[in-house]
Structure formats: C-alpha cells, structure tokens
Structure 1
Amino acid sequence: MLSIVGVAALLSVLVYKYIYYPRFASPLSKLPTAHPLCSITARWFSRRISQQKELTTLLAAHQKHGPVVRLGPREVSVVSLEGLRDIYTAGLEKHPWYVQIFANYGGTPNLVSTLEHRPHSVQKRMIANVYAKSYIQRSKDLDTLSTGIVLGKFLPLLHEYVNEKTQPDVMSLFQWAGIDFMTAYVFGTAYSTDFLQDKEGREAYFKDRSKIQSFDNSGQDNVVEAVCMQLATDTLAAQTQPQQTDIDGTSPVVFRQLYSQLVQKNKTESGQLSQTDLMKRCASEVLDHIIAAHETFAITSTYVLYRMSLDPALQKRLRAELSALRPSIGLGAAEQALPSAADVDALPLLNGVLLETLRLHAAVPVRQPRVVPEEGIRLHGHYIPAGTTVSSNAYCLHRQPEIFPRPNEWLPERWMAMQDRLQTDSSFPPPEVIRRWFWAFGSGGRMCIGSNFALQVLKLLFASIYTNFETSIIDDEGIEQSESFIAGPVGNKLIVQLHPVE
C-alpha cells in the first residue's frame, strides 16, 4: 500500500513539475507557443531543427503570434528592436552552448566563447581599436596587403581561369581569399597563408571538411588549429628574435596587439598563465577570427555572385559606378595600386548589393541564445524569469514586411538614398530606419568584432571582379534550397563563368 502511495506521490510531483507547472503556472505560460507541445517539451522544436526547418518555423511562429514566442519550457524567441535592446544591448550573459561550439584548443576561451560580460569586455578592449572602421580605412598595412592580394594573386587567378577555360567554385575561391586576407592582417604577410596560390597548402588545410565545419576543438589533431598555432609561433619568433626582424612584409597587426596585451594582463594576475597557455589563449582568439573570415567570405560571396549573375543589367550599372574609382582596379591599370578604402566604401550601389545580400542570406541567420539573469526581465509586457534562454535571429529580423517591404525579394536599392535609386519606391523606408533592424553581425557589446574588416574587404573583392568581368551561372546546386548556408555545408556550390570586359 505504501509503495502505491509513494508511486502516486512521485507521479504527482512529476506531473506538476513537467506538465502542470510549465503549461499553466509558469510565468511563461502566458506566452504564445510555436506549437502546443512547446510549453512542456523542447523536443518539438529540436525536431524542427533536425529537419532543417528551424528558421522557417521561427518566422511562421512570429508572423502568427507577434514578437514574443515560446519555443520550449524555458526558451523564448524575440524578434523586435525592444528585444535587441533588452537582450543584447543590455548585455545578458551568453548560453553555455557557445563554449561547446566555439572554444578552441581543448576549451581555451576566446571572445565568442566567453560567457560572462566583464571578461569579454576586458579582452575585447585589447583589440577593438585595430578592427574599428576608422583604423581599417587608414591602415597602411591593410592597404599594402590588399594591393598584394588583389593585384598580385586574386585577379591573376581569375584571368588564369579565363585563359584555361575553367570556371571557379565561388565558395572555395572566397574561402581561400578570406583566409589569406585574415591571416595577413593577423600575422602579417611574411607569415600568412597563401591559399590563392598555394594549392598544396589549401588542400591540406581543407582535407578534413568535417572538422572545419563542426569547429572540432580536439587540439593539435585538428589541422586548422595546428596551422593557426604554427603561424602564431612563427610570428612570435619573428617579433622576438633580432635576426628575423628585417623580413619584408606587413606588420602582424592583430597578433602583435593581442599578444602584447595578454602578456601585460598576465603580469598583473595572481594565477599567471604559462607561455604555452598564453599562446593557446592568443591562438584560440585569432583562430576564431580566421574561421569566421573564411566562412563569412565564402557564404556571402556565393550569394552575391549568385544574385548578380542573374541580373546582367545590374552588373552593368555596378561596373559604371566602379569606373569612377581612381586608380581603376585592374591588372592593366597604369598604377599598381588600389583606390582608397574610403572611396570603395562610399559606393552606394556596391554597398546596397552587399547589405541586401547579408539581409536576405545572412551568414549566421540562426538564434543567438542568452540567459536571463536572477532578477528576470520584461519583454513586451511579459515577465521572463531567471534562467530562461532568450534569443533573436537575423532570419526573422530581416523579414519584417513593415521594415522590409517585399521581404523575400533581393532589392539592393532599398539600402540606397532616395536620390541614388534608379526607381524610387516610396514603400521602402529610408536606409537609416532599416539599418536599425540589420543584424547580420549581431548588436551590442557582443556583436562581431570583425564586421568592419569583412565589409571593407568584401567590397574590394566584389569591386575587383565586376570592374574586370561579367559573371554568369554554370551550376548553382542547392543554393536556393538552402535554408541556412552556415558553415558551408558540403553539396551547396556555385560555379560561375567569367567573361572579361573591355
């Protein structure tokens, strides 16, 4: 009899804890749900993720229920400017998921994987200045390495494709370019990768795509981590050994800044890091920049060239805009130099092409989870208790029809000032309004530190292509069918034909 009573009591507790409370008594019970089961289990939404329907499910739920939707017993999705302010600008701590995915070298932290706000801010301040837009546009190192890569490697490779009558796989091409640009800025050109020319090196680096895609943090067994650590070790040796200081090349802008700041911080801490751990900390940080660069470059460039290749008239308009740059970007130019970064950045159509691509095809369109603090928060009048996972996502933010009319259409002119639009559409809000909803790089103190670098370099690469070539599609396998192109899934590719222009 007692055993029956005990079992009944246990069942009652379980029913209350896992069914009654989350469904009827929890503060979250007043929120609309993506599905009725979401109030008592996270499995329904997890199933949608496994079916690669995360983003479309989120969008449909918010379109039906508004800016706040419950995804599980302790998870809420928010799509609004209020949500961005109260979650991301307010600096809520990150979810432990970030450690599992983004920590490198056996769990060594970096900016992305640091959960707490204060240590993140401390490390971010170490290198924030070298990623600031003003610094990037004035950087002689970036100008020099950009000239060397674009005129010495990137454009010659494109002409080689034409001469050999072959077509580039856009994603692979921009992965190589992205890594070369990022490692040159981090380590200097003397110790950067040269994947645009070094076929053997890039094949070795990408030989295990599964490790790259899963952000495997297994240490030196990961070829990506091994390459980064070797670059960091070589760069440090060049900085500390007098006989190596006369090597030609640009400065290791990011590495020098980060390493010196970490050394100074290490001197003031009670539990000082060993030299090995110090190098792991430094390498973990810059490896995250490198991975982010080659994935962002590859994904964004694939979609830019895909969209542009569908519209020859737009290519012609962009080429006319690019013709005003001085010096012109081309191998036949009188000066072996590039136009200023500020001049490239100021081109309205080029800017619209890039921002519209990042809107419709954000490289990281998925949820960015944060954890509600002890005091809880209020979102759109609803109390959200401590420990709840809250998130927003670029996919839904970028498809709000009130902000982005005709949200599923790729319309670069929506980002242009009224006087620059070929066909003025009064239903498009002005750029200063829609920029508040632009979330391709996140927002607040945790937004992508390399966003200015990525935008500047991508604009330069697109300018170099469409100054010299027209593009058309040969194969676009899986491009339109891909809900999320994050981390460059195998099977999604774009092969283009390059047509030289006079």
Structure 2
Amino acid sequence: MLSLDASTFNIIALFPVILIAYIALKVSYNIFLHPLRSYPGPILCAASVLPLHKVSLDGYYHTWLHDLHKTYGPVVRHAPNNLSFIEPEVWNEIYGHKSTPLFQKSFEAYGPDIFGGIPEPGLLRANDVSHARQRKLVAHAFSDKALHDQQHLLKHYVELLVRKLKEAIQTDPNSKVDMVNWYNFTTFDIMSDLTFGEPLKLLEESTYSPWVRSVFANVRLLQVGETIRAWPGLEILSKVIAGKTMMAKRKLHMQHAIDRVEKRMALKTDRPDIWTHVLRHNGSAEGKGKGLTQKEMYSNSGLFMVAGTETTATLLSGLTYYLLKNPKKLERLNKEIREAFAKSEDMTMTTLGQLAYMNACISEGLRIYPPVPGKLPRLAPKGGAMLRGKFIPEGTTVAMVQYPAYHSESNFKDPDSFIPERWLPEGAEEYGTDHRGIVQPFSVGPRSCVGKNLAMHEMRLVLASVIWNFDMQLCEESDTWADQKVYILWEKVPLMVRLQPVR
C-alpha cells in the first residue's frame, strides 16, 4: 500500500487552493485589467469563455449574440478576447483588400487540415502567400467564361430535379416532399460533377449517400473541435470526445475526396469542370513552383464539396420557406418568372440575371437567412491595429457576425420581415435608410468566396425552374421551419411542401 509523506500530502492538499486562486486571478484580470475591458458586454462574458462555448455547443450562438447587440450596441465583447461588430464599415476594415495592417485569418478556429496538408493546406487554411497562389489558379474554374461553358451541365441536373419531383407527386397529388433534401440532392450532384467529373447520383436514387451524410457530420465536428482547441490540454482528448463514429465519418470524407480526385486526374478530357480549367493553367505554373500540389488538390476538392453545396441548398431552402410564408411575394415572383419564359430552355445565365424581382428575393433571402450565419474570425496583427477608430490589441479575435448584423434595427427597417421590395427602386422611400451594403454573404476582400458567380447562377436557375414548373404550398408541420440551431451552418430540419404541376 502506497503511503504519502507529509510534504507530498500538503502539496496535493494545496492543489485545489492554487487552482481556485489562479481562476480568481484570471477572472479578475479579464474583468478589470484586460486591454478590452472598456468594451461593452456582459460581465460573465468578460470573465470567461464559458458562456460563449455553452451557447455555441447548444447551437444558439447566432441568436444569443443578436440579443447581446440589442443590449450593448454595435460592438460587443462576448468573450475575454473576442469582439463582435455589426457596423457596415467593418467589412472592409477587417476583411477588405485595404486593411492595413491586415487582420489575419484565425486558423485556430478551423483546426488542422484533415488531408495532412502541412505545409500544403488548401484555400481554407492557407497563409496569405499560398492562398493568393492557389486562388489565382482556382479562379479560372469560376470565371464568367467557365460558367458559360458549364451552363448545360447545370441545366441537366435542374431538369432532372424537376422530373424527379414530378415523379414524386405523380401517384398522389396530395403527397408531401422535403425540399431540403431535393435541393441538397441537386447541389451535391452538380458540385460533384464539377469537382470529380461525375455525379453522386443523389437525384437519380433520391437518397443521400454515406459520404454526403459524413459531410454533414463533419461540419458539426468542426464546431466541437473549435471549442475543444480553446482549452489547453483538452485537444488530445478530442478524438475520444468526438467518438469513433464521428471520426470514422471524417475519415470517410477525406478518403472519398482523395479517391475521386485521383480518378478525375487520370481522365484525359476537356469537359468544362473545375479541374479542366485549373489544370489548363497549372502545368505552366507548376514548373515555377506556383502550381497546385496534390495535397492542395485534395483539400480544395473537399472544400468545394462543402462550400459549394450545403450553402447553396441552404439559401434555396430558406428562400422557399419565406416565399411560402408570404403568399403575395410568391405570387409576384410566380408571375415574373412564368411571363418571362415561354419554355424552360430560355432560362440562361443572362436572362435569369435580368429578373429584377427574383434577384431582389434572393438578396432578401441571403439577408434574412444567411447560409453562413455565424462568424468569420480574424486576429488583430502583431502590434495591434485600429478598428472603428479604436485600438485593438494584437491577438484579439474580431468578426462581423452575419445573423445579428442583418437582423439589427440599426441596419434595417423591419429586420425580421421578408421584404424583397427593399432591394428595388420602389422600396427606396420606405427602406432607403437600410444599410444594404452590409449584406455580404460571400464575404469581401482577398478571401471572399471564389465561387460566388456559380452559386448565384445556380440559385437563380434552380429557383426559377421549380417555380416555373410547380405551385407550392407549405405544410403545417413546417410552419416554424426557420427556428433552427446553428453549428457553423444551419441545422436544417425537413421543409415539407405540397407541389402542384403548373398547367
């Protein structure tokens, strides 16, 4: 039997006292001496990260922070070292090209690249120099020329969506369909074809593949990982906390991307997918050390399959819900789309871009239900920086958080109401004071979304095609559909809708 001498016993006995003293000193420093002590916010948030981490894991970060901004104003200290802003000017000051010194991306929030891309991570985690090199190459695949070349591919999957929806309601006109699923099937098939040279066949089989389910699980795992990494010593337990099932899904996501990229690279083809455009320019740059490495290709393909699918399907789902909750808005949109096109073949990138009311609806959908409702964290650079006329100490995490910014009465009149007219000249008299420029769902600056043009055309084409072909009615069980949790992205529930083919 082990025995403890008096000195060892005293040390062990003192440990709780030392721990309590450390916590007390840390809390006191955060409240009374911390460089951010003058910024408004709850005293508990100034004292500890616990309130932030609790609401993040509970899925209510977006509404919690919205309530804090209502109480404390346009800037809130919601953790000892974290500031949230909702003023329009902050976009350019934090994220813009002219931010000097530049606020750096907070890589800690994203965790390590699952493809082991060190020192070769993809766009999401690359440093500024590597990001600029990769983005220059990848941008060719998302240019207007590339999008024009890809139009027929998008049309193929949208036509398949319409056909499958008609089949789903053919036997029973009163049957219900989950539009969240159908939008996801469409966006994943499109992006898989563009990224890997072949679809996932979700539309054909009308169900999710195991790999797509792993994508959804991996997004939530990112939220858990971000919280764990904030506590020294806990990161080594992350695999245990995440569980074997979650880690297996993450591994499945990684291996699927690797296998599909390698299969696509083995093809000799000029089909207008992402890699055709990238490889066309990669060869000449590679010899100078400026091409994409293999690990960067793996990582970026995984990024495209999340950023180019879930977010687009999210906007389509949210916009469909708000249109169904506002029948007069939907009626006006129905009229515009159905009068604009005699046949579906007339829907092109150019003609869809000319539909003023549909584009206003999409803008309002992006405002009221932003696909990325949370934060895009940045760190104040070495030596600190000025932001909104005040000095921000180095290492401070700052962010424009989209949901509270877009739902703030300081930025929009009737912020919780779906009003597409605020984006049209006819709404200038009533909504002319709206800060519409604050709505930047694709972010701004050098790290803004490279696939914005593709996403916008995809949204227009899918929405217009569904409305041109169907009358829609919201089912009672989806009446409060928008009341959702957020784990990086929205945790969407089924959106049950009844469809009636337009005669």
Measured against the shorter chain, the TM-score band is 0.7 to 0.9
Q: What amino acid is the match of 1:354?
A: I
Q: In the alignment, is residue 41 of structure 1 matched against residue 48 of structure 2?
A: yes
Q: What amino acid is the match of 2:469?
A: N
Q: Pick closer, same or farther for the CA change 1:26–1:84 going to 2, 3 Å.
A: same
Q: In the alignment, is residue 411 of structure 1 matched against residue 411 of structure 2?
A: no
TM-superposed deviation, 1:398 = 0.6
Q: What amino acid is the match of 2:443?
A: G
TM-superposed deviation, 1:212 = 4.1
Determine the structure 2 residue equivalent to 1:214: 220
CA contact (8 A) 2:474 2:496 kept: yes
Q: Alignment partner for residue 257 of structure 1, among 277, 280, 283?
A: 277
TM-superposed deviation, 1:462 = 0.6
Alignment of 1:409-448 (within 5 A): 409-418=417-426, 424=427, 426-429=429-432, 434-448=435-449
Q: Alignment partner for residue 319 of structure 2, among 285, 304, 314?
A: 304
SS in 2 for 1:100: coil
Alignment of 1:63-78 (within 5 A): 63-78=70-85
Alignment of 1:73-88 (within 5 A): 73-88=80-95
Q: Pick closer, same or farther for the CA change 1:355–1:459 going to 2, 3 Å.
A: same
Give me the whole-angstrom Cα distance separating, in 2, the residues matched to 1:135 and 1:434. 32
Q: Pick closer, same or farther for the CA change 1:160–1:259 going to 2, 3 Å.
A: same
Determine the structure 1 residue equivalent to 2:287: 267
Q: Pick closer, same or farther for the CA change 1:427–1:403 going to 2, 3 Å.
A: farther
Give me the whole-angstrom Cα distance separating, in 1, the residues matched to 2:335 and 2:249. 49
Give me the whole-angstrom Cα distance separating, in 2, the residues matched to 1:106 and 1:148. 35
Determine the structure 1 residue equivalent to 2:183: 174
Q: In the alignment, is residue 126 of structure 1 matched against residue 134 of structure 2?
A: no
TM-superposed deviation, 1:451 = 1.8
Alignment of 1:361-376 (within 5 A): 361-376=369-384
SS in 1 for 2:440: coil
Determine the structure 2 residue equivalent to 1:319: 334
More deviation, 353-362/47-56: 47-56
CA contact (8 A) 1:68 1:380 kept: no
CA contact (8 A) 2:188 2:200 kept: yes
TM-superposed deviation, 1:119 = 1.8
- Structure 1: 5+ residue runs without aligned partners? 240-244, 330-336, 419-423
SS in 2 for 1:168: strand
More deviation, 171-180/51-60: 51-60
Which TM-score applies when normalising by structure 1?
0.82
SS in 1 for 2:395: coil
TM-superposed deviation, 1:186 = 3.0
Give me the whole-angstrom Cα distance separating, in 1, the residues matched to 2:252 and 2:294. 17
CA RMSD, 1 decimal: 3.2
Q: Which has the higher contact order (CA 8 A, sep 6+)?
A: 2
Determine the structure 1 residue equivalent to 2:122: 110
Give me the whole-angstrom Cα distance separating, in 2, the residues matched to 1:377 and 1:306. 42
TM-superposed deviation, 1:463 = 0.4
SS in 2 for 1:390: strand
Measured against aligned partners, the alpha-carbon deviations of 1:444-474 in whole angstroms (never above 9, x if no partner) come to 2112221221111111111001111111122
Q: What amino acid is the match of 1:316?
A: E
Give me the whole-angstrom Cα distance separating, in 1, the residues matched to 2:206 and 2:259. 19
Q: What amino acid is the match of 2:288?
A: T
Determine the structure 1 residue equivalent to 2:258: 229
SS in 1 for 2:418: coil
Identity of aligned residues (%): 22
Q: Pick closer, same or farther for the CA change 1:221–1:65 going to 2, 3 Å.
A: closer
SS in 1 for 2:76: strand
CA contact (8 A) 1:352 1:416 kept: yes
Give me the whole-angstrom Cα distance separating, in 2, the residues matched to 1:11 and 1:207. 42
Determine the structure 1 residue equivalent to 2:107: 96
Q: Pick closer, same or farther for the CA change 1:470–1:40 going to 2, 3 Å.
A: same
Q: Pick closer, same or farther for the CA change 1:280–1:266 going to 2, 3 Å.
A: same
TM-superposed deviation, 1:417 = 2.3
Give me the whole-angstrom Cα distance separating, in 2, the residues matched to 1:285 and 1:466. 33
Determine the structure 1 residue equivalent to 2:464: 463
Q: Alignment partner for residue 476 of structure 1, among 475, 478, 482?
A: 478
SS in 2 for 1:28: coil
CA contact (8 A) 1:79 1:392 kept: yes
Measured against aligned partners, the alpha-carbon deviations of 1:401-447 in whole angstroms (never above 9, x if no partner) come to 243100011111111222xxxxx5622027xx744111222222112
Q: What amino acid is the match of 2:326?
A: D
Give me the whole-angstrom Cα distance separating, in 1, the residues matched to 2:95 and 2:215. 32
CA contact (8 A) 2:44 2:51 kept: yes
Q: In the alignment, is residue 62 of structure 1 matched against residue 69 of structure 2?
A: yes
Give me the whole-angstrom Cα distance separating, in 1, the residues matched to 2:257 and 2:192. 9
Determine the structure 2 residue equivalent to 1:381: 389
Q: Alignment partner for residue 209 of structure 2, among 194, 203, 208?
A: 203
Alignment of 1:263-302 (within 5 A): 264-269=284-289, 278-302=293-317
TM-superposed deviation, 1:477 = 7.2
- Structure 2: 5+ residue runs without aligned partners? 1-9, 223-245
TM-superposed deviation, 1:495 = 1.3
Determine the structure 1 residue equivalent to 2:402: 394
